[in-house]
């Protein structure tokens, strides 16, 4: 059975939605020599909202989606206004693939293998730093599960 997850990629502070960015726990991750801060989406509501309705991201900031177990993941950009790149990451922290996603589209972007994490950053963030599939993301083993 395929697990089709479409977190619709967190909400403006003045939004009526109860999930505000300030409520999300953050973590620091490292890929090679590059550090980043990621808001963590761990609940179904946080995952469904993702980066929807935001218009900017701070430099070296993104969102990490954390799943209970590895499986095929799919993301889309419904109501997302920032062009994003997404890294699908295996349970051991290896980047499986990186996909660029255009704002306000419902096109699915799939992991190329079972992924337990998905990391969204501003479009081009990974490419600008030479980060590619096969690189390792450090700091995931410290996350609460």
Greatest C-alpha distance within the chain: 40
pLDDT tens-place string over residues 113-128: 999 999 999 999 999 9
CB 41 within 8 A of CB 63: yes
- For the domain spanning 21-142, the CATH number is 2.60.120.1140
**What confidence score (pLDDT) does residue 19 get?**
45
| Dist. CA 84–CA 125, nearest whole Å | 9
Name the pLDDT band for 63 (thresholds 50, 70, 90).
very high
pTM: 0.85
pLDDT tens-place string over residues 80-120: 999 999 999 999 999 999 999 999 999 999 999 999 999 99
Lowest mean pLDDT, pick from 2-6, 23-27, 32-36, 73-77: 2-6
Q: Where do the domains of the chain lie?
A: 21-142
Please name which of 136, 124, 117 lies closest in space to residue 33, comparing C-alpha atoms. Answer: 136
Place of tokens 């969102």: 63
Q: What is the mean pLDDT of residues 3-19?
A: 36
């Amino acid at each position: 059975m395929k697990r089709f997850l479409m977190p619709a990629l967190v909400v403006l502070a003045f939004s009526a939605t109860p999930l505000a960015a300030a409520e999300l726990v953050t973590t620091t991750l490292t890929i090679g020599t590059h550090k980043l801060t990621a808001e963590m989406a761990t609940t179904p509501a946080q995952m469904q909202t993702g980066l929807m309705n935001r218009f900017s991201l701070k430099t070296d900031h993104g969102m990490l989606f954390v799943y209970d177990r590895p499986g095929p993941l799919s993301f889309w950009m419904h109501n997302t206004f920032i062009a994003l790149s997404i890294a699908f990451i295996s349970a051991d922290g290896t980047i499986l693939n990186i996909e660029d996603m255009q704002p306000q589209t419902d096109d699915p972007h799939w992991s190329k293998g079972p992924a337990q994490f998905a990391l969204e950053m501003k479009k081009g963030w990974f490419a600008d730093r030479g980060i590619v599939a096969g690189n390792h993301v450090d700091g995931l083993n410290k996350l609460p599960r």
